[in-house]
C-alpha cells in the first residue's frame, strides 16, 4: 500500500514569471527568478514609501 504524501504548503505562482513555485526556491520557481527579485530590491526598483518631508534636513531648525 502506498500512502499519499501531502505538501507542507500549497503551490503558488512565482511572483516573477507566474510559473508554479518550487520547494527549493520558494516562493519563486527557480534560483534565476529569486536572483532577479533580489537584484530589483538592491538596485532600488522596489521602494517602500515613507512619510513626506516637510522641510530641510533634521537639525536645520531656524532658531534665533
Q: Note the pLDDT tens digit of each residue in 5-52.
A: 666 667 789 999 999 999 899 999 999 999 999 999 999 898 888 888
User: What global pTM score does this model have?
Assistant: 0.59
| Cell 502506498, located at residue | 2
Confirm whether 18 is domain-assigned: yes
Parent domain of 17: 12-43
Asked if residue 24 belongs to a domain, the reply is yes
Binding-site residue ranges: 14, 17, 29, 33
36 in any annotated domain: yes
Instruction: Give the span between the Cα atoms of 15 and 51, in whole angstroms.
Output: 27
Q: What is the pLDDT of residues 23-32, one digit of tens each?
A: 899 999 999 9
Q: How many domains does the chain have?
A: 1
User: Annotated binding residues for Zn(2+), as ranges?
Assistant: 14, 17, 29, 33
17/9 Cα distance (integer angstroms): 20
Amino acid at each position: 500500500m502506498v500512502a499519499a504524501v501531502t505538501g507542507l504548503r500549497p503551490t503558488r505562482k512565482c511572483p516573477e514569471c507566474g510559473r508554479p513555485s518550487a520547494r527549493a526556491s520558494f516562493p519563486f520557481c527557480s534560483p534565476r527568478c529569486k536572483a532577479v527579485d533580489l537584484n530589483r530590491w538592491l538596485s532600488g526598483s522596489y521602494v517602500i514609501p515613507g512619510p513626506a518631508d516637510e522641510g530641510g534636513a533634521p537639525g536645520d531648525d531656524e532658531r534665533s
